[in-house]
Amino acid sequence: MTIDASRGAEAPPDLVQLLTPEGERVEHPDYDIDLTPEEVRSLYRDLVLVRRVDLEAVALQRQGELGIWASLLGQEAAQIGSGRALTDSDMAFPTYREHGVAWCRGVDPVKLLGLFRGVNHGGWDPKEHNFHLYTIVIGSQTLHAVGYAMGVQRDDANAATIVYFGDGATSQGDVNESFIWASVTNAPIVFFCQNNQWAISEPLEKQTRIPLYRRASGFGFPGVRVDGNDVFACLAVTRKALEAARTGQGPTLVEAFTYRMGAHTTTDDPTRYRVASELEAWKLKDPIERVKAYLFKNELADQEFIDAVEAEADQLGADLRRRCLAMPDPEPLAIFDHVYSEPHALIEQERAQFATYLEGFRD
Ligand SMILES: Cc1ncc(C[n+]2csc(CCOP(=O)(O)OP(=O)(O)O)c2C)c(N)n1
Ligand SMILES: [Mg+2]
């Protein structure tokens, strides 16, 4: 087998881009965005801060403080751009990698760590943030999201649903079924696929022979491919798709063309299956560097601003570490607490059995 080292590194022609890797603003006939300097600075700040949260979490895992971590490195723009497009009443369904979207939904980053530290089964209240719990079973959340969107439609609420999934997930039956349900019910939903080129060690070519966004037409709704490393474009494209959903125009598939710069999770070693030059090519398209270049080129920020954001990131990282280590271990019997919403005889029996078992360890 030959490996094409440049795979995915050249921008495909049908890519919506508003900010080039060099930080040049470009126009697109169908998508526009009018951001104030303050908004651009705040996007930059978000990108830097979520990257730091991610870095700190990887370090915590390496030191044995988390069981596992799924890094978002390289996907910050796709997540902050789409996350910022959401209104408070919109609902988001994530995978296990959407730390940037969680940030935009106001979830305290330390709450993301509980699941990965094994001290809880989720960590936040989905209703409080309109951000569902992380979902590990690939693609299953697309069905949950379409069901939710159909409910929103029946409530006649002015809200959209967005569901995140990966390139690999597009091969799952659940995802294809969810496309059909969304299509035939005209559900108010945005399917946001982060095509990070890999599903663990499986490259994109193992999932599809056509660009992923083009699959949408077979299901009867529009698809668009956006530069997933361009936060302006991700914001503009997602905003438009969400607005279409809210105004009765049904689903859209957004394919955010991006790259997983790190390992699949901390249990994975990507050097075993991908060549270093691929990563090097994508580093030139870094989602943060292009916003920084844009800010400098247009004199919207100075070094003092960049340093201040860096200092804030240091503070955030240190705070996250301190609060992670202070997270209490759960009471062992708590595992039975939320199996059913109402008391259940079998669960009570199991709880009692486990309590007796634990008693056996007492001195
Ligand atoms: C139903 C199911 N099958 C297999 C797995 C194991 N698994 C975890 S992540 C993953 C790859 C997912 O790739 P992709 O959808 O591209 O998302 P990414 O991790 O790249 O963000 C697989 C196969 C799983 N979690 N669930
Ligand atoms: Mg992937």
Encode pLDDT of 116-153 as tens digits: 999 988 899 999 999 999 999 999 999 999 999 999 99
Residue 360 backbone phi and psi in degrees, to 5: -60, -15
Tell me the best of 69, 138, 206 to mutate to test the pocket of ligand 1, counting ligand atoms within 8 Å of each CB and taking the most. 138
Mean pLDDT over residues 85-110, rounded?
Answer: 98
47 lines ligand 1 (CB under 6 A): no
- pLDDT exceeds cutoff 50 at 318: yes
90 lines ligand 1 (CB under 6 A): no
pLDDT (0 to 100) of residue 201 = 98
Ligand nearest to the CA of 200: 1
Q: Which atom of ligand 1 is nearest to the CA of 139?
A: 1
Each residue of 228-264: pLDDT tens digit? Answer: 999 999 999 999 999 999 999 999 999 999 999 999 9
3-state secondary structure of 202: strand
Q: Quick check: is 273 catalytic? A: yes
83 lines ligand 1 (CB under 6 A): no
82 lines ligand 1 (CB under 6 A): no
Tokens of 90: 């919109």
Task: Give the separation between CA 359 and CA 328, rounded to whole angstroms.
Answer: 21
Enumerate domains of the chain plus CATH numbers.
37-330 (3.40.50.970), 331-363 (no CATH)
Residue 195 backbone phi and psi in degrees, to 5: -80, 95
Please identify which residue in the block is written with the tokens 């700190």. 56
Pick the catalytic residue: 41, 84, 132, 260?
260
Residue 1: band (very low, low, confident or very high) from pLDDT cuts 50, 70, 90: very low
Task: Give the separation between CA 85 and CA 239, rounded to whole angstroms.
Answer: 5
Residues ≥6 apart with Cβ < 8 Å to 322: none
pLDDT (0 to 100) of residue 77 = 99
Residue 338: band (very low, low, confident or very high) from pLDDT cuts 50, 70, 90: confident
Cα 217 to averaged position of ligand 1 atoms, centre (Å): 24
Q: Looking at the chain, how many residues does it have? A: 363
